[in-house]
Amino acid sequence: MDKSWIYIKNRLLKEYKDGVKMFIELARNHLDKDGKCRCPCKKCMNFNFHPIELVERHLHIYGFRTSYVKWAQHGEDQESTSHNARDDSASHNVRDGECEDEEETDDFDDEDEMMNALNDAFPHNRSQVVDDGGDGNEGNAYEEESSNFADLFAEAGKELYSGCTKFSALSFIVKMLHIKNCIFID
């Protein structure tokens, strides 16, 4: 499955529109019980659940999250994942033990990768709480913990300060830790 369209900056091009259409067809077959799916746009970062029409609109307005290349949250099997969607040589900050800054082409690429890693590590679906037949307190604790985690996820995607489009609070902290680590390595 060709995913090269997710890297197209001009979202008015036919290739991008066709790619969105193909993605929406795939996602439409994997909606949750409320008729919603995760939105992989650069704003929602695969965390928010929306109706499929709003997901499509978000992809046209905000663009597709370029670090989301294995569409596991939208029904893609592991076997069908295309490895040529992302150039292996693209954007790695640490090469051969050296710390180096790359010229950023997309303000939120680093953040997309962080959020992708967090989504992979904690793939809990907020809308699905399992009832294990207990006294109900476990479910409430899970819901509360899930809600706290959801709040942290949402906070991670917010601007560092009003008008700042380059960093979120999370990406800024990670960048500072990276710089600190590079200083102490030398």
pLDDT tens, N- to C-terminus, the chain (186 residues): 788 898 988 888 999 999 999 999 988 988 888 989 999 998 888 888 999 999 999 999 999 988 888 887 777 764 444 444 444 333 333 333 444 444 444 444 555 666 666 666 666 544 444 444 555 555 566 677 767 777 777 777 777 888 877 777 777 888 888 788 777 654
Q: Indicate whether 69 belongs to any domain.
A: yes
Cβ contacts of residue 123 below 8 Å, gap of 6+? 73
Cβ contacts of residue 24 below 8 Å, gap of 6+? 52, 55, 56, 59
Q: Indicate whether 84 belongs to any domain.
A: no
Q: Which domain holds residue 172?
A: 4-77+95-185
Q: Indicate whether 141 belongs to any domain.
A: yes
Quote the pLDDT of residue 85. 42
Of 85, 93, 50, 94, the residue nearest 65 (C-alpha): 85
Q: Indicate whether 159 belongs to any domain.
A: yes
Quote the pLDDT of residue 134. 52
Do the Cβ atoms of 41 and 55 come closer than 8 Å? yes
Beta bridge partners, 37, equal 50
For the chain, the straight-line distance linking the first and the last C-alpha, in angstroms and rounded, comes to 43
Q: Indicate whether 88 belongs to any domain.
A: no
Q: Indicate whether 50 belongs to any domain.
A: yes
Quote the pLDDT of residue 87. 41
Q: Indicate whether 164 belongs to any domain.
A: yes
Quote the pLDDT of residue 76. 74
Number of domains in the chain: 1
